[in-house]
């Protein structure tokens, strides 16, 4: 008789991978944040991919009318590719905050989760979400029942992408895939990308990773665990999905990119890696801004969207959107 399956990876007791490849998930939402809901923001859920039963959540200011040309902001949530949904309270609260702050239509898509669906599944799903918007835009103005009424007043020519943590990783790969001008999405036009503490890695550790600043929750071992659970079996931390400047990654010198804003907390383990990412892109002639928020740790923006610190970041993102809207 063979031995019984045993746990080989355990994420906070909420996700367990067993030696036989089986997976168990605790249905409990790992973020006991109260759900904020008021009359200033309206939201609803839509199916955007029937093949994988993927949904997204739309947010709009309750004061908006169908005559307004609302810009669009895609929000890709974090969770190490292994956790997360548009329904998680802290993601929902941030989207509501962004809706009011920017007076935009917010689109918050879900994606398939690892390890059931390892990368590039999440990246593929991010593309599907943008393609869904392209389909809506292509039918705009026609008498087609599949066009959602909330999209009758939006500006498909002013779309921005914001990704947090693993969502920031997705935003980077979208920027590279779509290239400057996002011609393959026409008539949708992405104007810029905001990467908040994007989840990158690499086999060569940075200074901040080696010293591991004292974050309240995160540590390098946790990050490595998420990578083991999410990257293709047999891959390494230098997989192009993990390391944008790894030995096997695409040469970005000849890839035209739309403007990118990188935001990172000064107390994050990934701080140096993300500064290096922005610096390398600048050296390649890309339009990149790097903003370090002194003393902040990973997740500060999502976990505390109404804080004074988050307000300063929101102001910087607002400036970025305004600067790149024409």
Domain ranges of the chain: 40-324
Indicate which residues carry an active-site annotation.
165, 268, 298
**What integer is the mean pLDDT of 53-59?**
98
* Coil vs helix vs strand at 3: coil
- The architecture (CATH level 2) of 40-324 comes to 3-Layer(aba) Sandwich (3.40)
Tell me: pLDDT of 65 over 70: no
pTM of the model: 0.95
Q: In whole angstroms, give the CA distance from residue 22 to residue 161.
A: 34
Residue 167 tokens read as 């969502």
Measured CA to CA in angstroms, residue 90 lies from 39, 107, 213, 292 at distances of 18, 15, 24, 22
84 backbone dihedrals φ, ψ, rounded to 5°: 115, 150
Environment class of 38 (CB within 10 Å of its CB; exposed 0-12, middle 13-18, buried 19+): exposed
Contact 115, 82 (CB under 8 A): yes
Tens digit of pLDDT for each residue in 71-126?
999 999 999 999 999 999 999 999 999 999 999 999 999 999 999 999 999 999 99
Tens digit of pLDDT for each residue in 261-285?
999 999 999 999 999 999 999 999 9
Q: Put the strands of the sheet holding 190-196 in their side by side order.
A: 41-49, 54-61, 105-109, 70-76, 154-164, 190-196, 260-265, 288-293
């Amino acid at each position: 008789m063979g031995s019984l399956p045993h746990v080989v990876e355990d994420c906070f007791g909420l996700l367990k991978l067993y030696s036989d490849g089986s997976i168990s998930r605790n249905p409990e939402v790992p973020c006991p944040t109260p759900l904020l809901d008021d009359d200033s923001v309206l939201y609803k859920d839509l199916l955007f991919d029937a093949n994988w039963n993927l949904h997204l959540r739309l947010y709009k200011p309750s004061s908006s009318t169908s005559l307004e040309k609302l810009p669009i902001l895609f929000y890709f949530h974090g969770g190490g590719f292994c956790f997360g949904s548009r329904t998680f309270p802290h993601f929902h609260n941030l989207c509501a905050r962004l809706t009011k702050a920017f007076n935009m239509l917010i689109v918050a898509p879900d994606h398939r989760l690892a390890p059931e669906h390892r990368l590039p599944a999440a990246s593929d799903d991010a593309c599907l979400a943008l393609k869904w918007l392209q389909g809506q835009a292509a039918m705009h103005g026609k008498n087609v029942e599949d066009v959602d009424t909330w999209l009758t007043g939006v500006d498909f020519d002013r779309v921005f992408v914001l990704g947090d943590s693993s969502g920031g990783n997705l935003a980077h790969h979208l920027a590279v895939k779509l290239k400057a001008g996002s011609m393959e999405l026409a008539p949708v036009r992405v104007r810029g990308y905001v990467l908040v503490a994007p989840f990158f890695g690499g086999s060569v550790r940075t200074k901040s990773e080696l010293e591991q600043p004292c974050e309240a929750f995160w540590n390098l071992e946790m990050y490595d665990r998420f990578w083991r659970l999410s990257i293709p079996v047999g891959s390494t931390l230098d997989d192009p999905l993990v390391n944008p400047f790894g030995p096997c990654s695409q040469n970005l010198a000849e890839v035209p990119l739309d403007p990118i804003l990188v935001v990172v907390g000064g107390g994050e383990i990934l701080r140096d890696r993300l500064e290096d990412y922005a610096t390398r892109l600048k050296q390649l002639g890309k339009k990149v801004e790097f903003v370090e928020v002194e003393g902040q740790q990973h997740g500060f923006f999502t976990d505390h969207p109404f804080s004074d610190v988050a307000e300063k970041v929101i102001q910087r993102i607002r400036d970025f959107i305004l600067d790149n809207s024409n």
